[in-house]
Structure 1
Amino acid sequence: MALRFLGGSSGKNGSPRLWETDNEYIWQGYPVTDPEMLAEIAVPEGEIVVRVPKSLVTYLPKGENGVAD
């Protein structure tokens, strides 16, 4: 699986960052640790929830309708 870096607002290293593969996006961000927030989300075992600023959406490729594919 080859990763292609799409962008980030933190300089050369750090969070947040965004990559893509042929069929998915890889988001790097800070973990959500707030117990009240996590209580509202049903997170399956083996998965985590990360915080990613809305500004990273600008790095998503645009589809025909102007939204991410």
Structure 2
Amino acid sequence: MAKLTKLGGGCQDGRTCPAVFVVDDGDAYIVQGWELTDPEILAELQLPAGESAVKIPASLVEVMRSAGRG
């Protein structure tokens, strides 16, 4: 099982907690965010089977950049 290290994130509203994690080998990220349900956005993304997309605050991208991994 892969070990995850949390790079950042938090509960801004006390209920939802977008976060970003790096996998222990440093070769991938796990992103926790808000589920996309807007049919127009989903249609534009044209996600293939087995993939999904989530929305995260821009501040999490900055966390990855600050960690030297973005």
Contact 1:9 1:56 in 2 (8 A): no
Structure holding more helix per residue: 2
Which of 41, 46, 62 is residue 68 of structure 2 equivalent to?
Answer: 62
The RMSD of aligned alpha carbons is 2.0
1:20-61 deviations in whole A, cap 9, x for unaligned? Answer: 012101100011110011111110112111011111112212
CA distance in 2, matches of 1:5, 1:33: 26
Identity of aligned residues (%): 40
Gaps in structure 2 of 5+ consecutive residues? none
CA distance in 2, matches of 1:37, 1:45: 16
Contact 1:4 1:19 in 2 (8 A): yes
TM-score under structure 1 length normalisation: 0.78
Match of 1:4 in 2: 5
Gaps in structure 1 of 5+ consecutive residues? none
Match of 1:33 in 2: 37
Match of 2:46 in 1: 42
TM-score under structure 2 length normalisation: 0.77
**Runs of at least 4 residues off by over 6 Å:** none
